[in-house]
Structure 1
């Protein structure tokens, strides 16, 4: 039997932070996301207003407008959950944060409650991109789900394998 002297590759599974319809990033009606300027990922059109932590990690960003949440896992993967498009213009209306920057979070922990009805009426779109913001030139492999519907905390949206 051979021993692997190079160690095991890190593997992170990112679970759906919200339930809803899975949308390829290329179909998000905003070039910043569809052209992957922010990084590789996937999107969900939410069917409920509960955003949960997709893995164990830390909240690294939560703007005053509450339209996005930045997280980092133990392997240094930086994930942005951007709730809707142009939702920064809502100035925090429709969002209730359950965490703050610097908080340690566990997979499945509530991060944000959304007033989905308000967002559907007032945002350009409620499609929610979930991107690995430090995926470019990382040397990591990202495998996306083929599922069409996501269940928060259950569906694995993507798997990151790498250094």
Structure 2
């Protein structure tokens, strides 16, 4: 009877791709903060479409004022940062149509944003999007995708396992 009360929450989850595009190892992202994993481990996607969906079930923790990044907390406790493009903070929200707000509950595949991939690229910004596990001390990233192309909302990028 008490086992159910004190049962440890399942902390493992598959993280699906939030974007349709080409998978890029984090080490190959042309920004040292990400490529040297200063913010955490993860993977990146070079988007070929504008839709951004939730990679996990959970909640929106923070939509950055400049709309270039969204942080999420999964139901399992994993904290994920999606940084849409590089140096895109300078755009002050231009090119980003955010569909969620802080505190929103989300499910895998729910629409989070649309990014104007072509418009942002035409302004000289890189649209590559790092997807970072921020609390890597609590979770291990495994089964990282070796696929070249992924589809938003369906293809798995990596598996998270609680430590």
Question: TM-score normalised to the size of structure 1?
Answer: 0.91
Structure 1 segments, 4+ long, off by >6 Å, are none
The equivalent residue for 2:148 is 148
Q: Deviations over 1:15-70 (max 9, x none)?
A: 00000000000000000000000100000000000000111110001011100010
The equivalent residue for 2:71 is 70
Q: Out of 22-31 and 100-109, give the one that drifted further.
A: 100-109
Unmatched 5+ stretches in structure 1? 1-5
1:25 and 1:42 in contact (8 A); partners too: yes
* Alpha-carbon distance change, 123 to 104 in structure 1, aligned in 2, over 3 angstroms: farther
What is the CA-CA distance between 1:9 and the residue it aligns to? 5.8
What is the CA-CA distance between 1:10 and the residue it aligns to? 2.6
* Alpha-carbon distance change, 110 to 63 in structure 1, aligned in 2, over 3 angstroms: same
Unmatched 5+ stretches in structure 2? 1-6
Matching of residues 91-130 of structure 1 within 5 Å: 91-130=92-131
Query: RMSD in angstroms over aligned alpha carbons?
Result: 1.5
Look up the SS of the partner of 2:45 in the other structure: strand
2:95 and 2:119 in contact (8 A); partners too: yes
2:9 and 2:76 in contact (8 A); partners too: no
1:18 and 1:44 in contact (8 A); partners too: yes
User: How many residues end up aligned between the 2 structures?
Assistant: 156
Q: Deviations over 1:87-141 (max 9, x none)?
A: 0000000000100011111111110011111111124311000000111x32x32
Is 1:83 equivalent to 2:102 in the alignment?
no
The equivalent residue for 1:161 is 161
2: CA distance, partners of 1:55 / 1:24 = 20
